Amino acid sequence: MNGSRPDFSRQPDRLQAYLDDLTQAAGHADRVVPMENYTKGLMLPIERKSVEPMAARLAPGNVRQMHQSLHHIVADAAWSDDALLKQVRRQVLPAMTRKHALAAWIVDDTGFPKKGTHSVGVARQYCGQLGKQENCRVAVSVSLATEQASIPAAYQLYLPEIWADDAKRRKQAGVPAEIRFQTKPDMALEQIRSLVNEDVPHGVVLADAAYGDDNDFREGVETLGLSYAVGIKSSTSLWPPGTMPLPPQPRRRIGRPPRLLQRDKQHQPLSAKELALCLRAADLRRVSWREGARGMMRSRFAALRVRVAHRDYWRSEPRPEQWLLIEWPPEEKEPTKYWLSNLPVSIGLRKLVAIAKLRWRIERDYEELKQELGLGHFEGRNWRGFHHHATLSIAAYGFLVLERCLFPPSADSRPLRANDIQFSLPRLQSGYAPRGATRTDRKA
C-alpha cells in the first residue's frame, strides 16, 4: 500500500457503526434503512445528489422502489432534525476536540439560487453564492470549530416576511405554525441560546458584519456568557480610546434628575474608519495567522480599546470597553476589515487575530457541503424536505470529519474527500451511468 495513504479497509464498518448510532434519532424502525440509504446517497460520486440519481445508483435493479423510499424519508417522514444533529455532534465533537480544543462557534448564512415562487423561502434577496440580489433561499447556521475541523450544529431556513405573512403559501409549503418572521441575527441568537442550553462546550462566537453590526446580537451573545469577535462596518460609530459620552446634565431644582448620557458638537464619536485613519504606521504590527494554499497568511493589524457609541444617548451608563481590531494590508491605501471583540483585555494581538480569522472554516464547510455532499441539490418545495435534506447532508459531512480526524493528511497527500468513502453498492451493468453523473469511470 502507498505509505502516504492510510488503510481504509475497515471504513465500511466504521460507516455502518456511525449510521447505526445516527439512526437512533429516526423515531421509528421503518425509517432506519431509508435514512442510512439517503446518507450514503449523498456520498456517492455522482454530479447531482437529488432523489432520482441517488436512487438509480443505490438500487439500479429497483429504482422506483428506492426512489419512493428516499423521497418519503426526506420529504414526508416526521423525524426530528434537532435530534439527528445532536447525534452528529455526540459522535463528531469528541473526535474533533481530541487534539485541538473547541475554539469557536461560527455564525453564517448561505444562499441557494432557486427559480420560481413556490419553493419554501424563495424570494429576491442577497445571495452570497452569486454575490448579488437574486431569486434564492437562505439558511442561517452555527458551526462548531477547532483550528483543524468544524461541523454545523444548527441550521434553519430564513423565512422572508412575504412568506411569513402569507398563510396560503405557508400551508402549501408546510411551514410549522410556530415559525414566525425573524431577522437573521435574531435567528442566529436563538440557535446560540439553544446550544448554550444543551451545554455544548463554549467557543468564541464569530460572525461577519451582517451580524456583528447588530447591537442586540452582540449584547445577546454577551448576556449568554459568551465571548465574541465579530465583523463590523467601517461606518460603525465608536468612542476612541480613553473617551466616552458626557455624563448626564446636572440635577435641576425641580423635576426628575437627568439620567441620559450626552454629546455636544465638540464631543462626538468617530467611525471605525476615521479611527483607523488616525493610526501611524508604527501603530500597525505585522501578524501571521495560518498556512494557506499560497503560503503563510500575513497582514498588518492594530487593536484599540474602544466603546460602541450606537444610540448611547438613550443610555444612563457608557457601554464597556472592548477591542476594535483593524486589518490594514501594506499594499492597501486604507483598512480593509474591522472587528469588535469582548475578549479579555490581556489577550495578545496575535491570538486575537487568529481567533477572528478562524471564520474561514465556515467557508470550507459550505464549499464541501455544496460541492461534494449535495447540500443545495434538494428539488422539493416544502419546509420539512428542505431541512431533512440539509440535516442528512450535515450527517454525511460528519462522517467525513470523523475520518479526517482518524487519518489526517500528511504533507504529501490530499485531505480525504467524500468520494473516497467506501461502502458496498449493487454491481452496475456494463455501460450503466446513473442520471446526473458526468463520468462513467468513477467508483463509489
- CA–CA separation, 172 vs 305, rounded Å? 51
Mean pLDDT of the region 300-313? 93
Same-domain pairing of 380 and 331: no
> Exposed/middle/buried for 422, CB within 10 Å: 0-12, 13-18, 19+?
middle
Residue 78 has pLDDT above 90, yes or no: yes
Quick check: 185 and 230 in contact, CB under 8 A?
no
Boundaries of domain holding 145: 11-208+363-420
Given its phi and psi angles, is residue 350 left (phi above 0), alpha (psi -120 to 50 degrees) or beta?
A: alpha
Mind listing the pLDDT tens digit for each residue in 105-116?
A: 999 999 999 988
- What is the per-residue pLDDT for 301? 98
Same-domain pairing of 52 and 182: yes
Mean pLDDT, the chain, integer: 90
Same-domain pairing of 27 and 173: yes
- CA–CA separation, 192 vs 153, rounded Å? 10
Same-domain pairing of 97 and 201: yes
Question: Burial letters for 362-374: b for 16+ Cβ neighbours within 10 Å, e otherwise?
Answer: beebbebbbebbb
Side chain identity, residue 160: P
Q: What angle do CA 218, 147, 389 make, to 5 degrees?
A: 75
- CA–CA separation, 187 vs 107, rounded Å? 10
Residue 216 has pLDDT above 80, yes or no: yes
Number of domains in the chain: 2
Same-domain pairing of 105 and 234: no
Of 418 and 178, which is predicted with more confidence? 178
Domain-embedded: residue 263: no
The DSSP output letter for 405 is H
Three cell numbers, residue 19: 449510521
> Exposed/middle/buried for 147, CB within 10 Å: 0-12, 13-18, 19+?
middle
Same-domain pairing of 189 and 278: no
Q: For cell 504590527, what's the residue? A: 285
Element (H or E) spanning 22, and its range?
helix 11-22
Mind listing the pLDDT tens digit for each residue in 344-360?
A: 999 999 999 999 999 99
Residue 442 has pLDDT above 70, yes or no: no
- CA–CA separation, 88 vs 83, rounded Å? 9
pTM score: 0.91
Diameter over CA atoms, the chain: 97
Domain-embedded: residue 433: no
Domain-embedded: residue 333: yes
Mean pLDDT of the region 405-428? 78
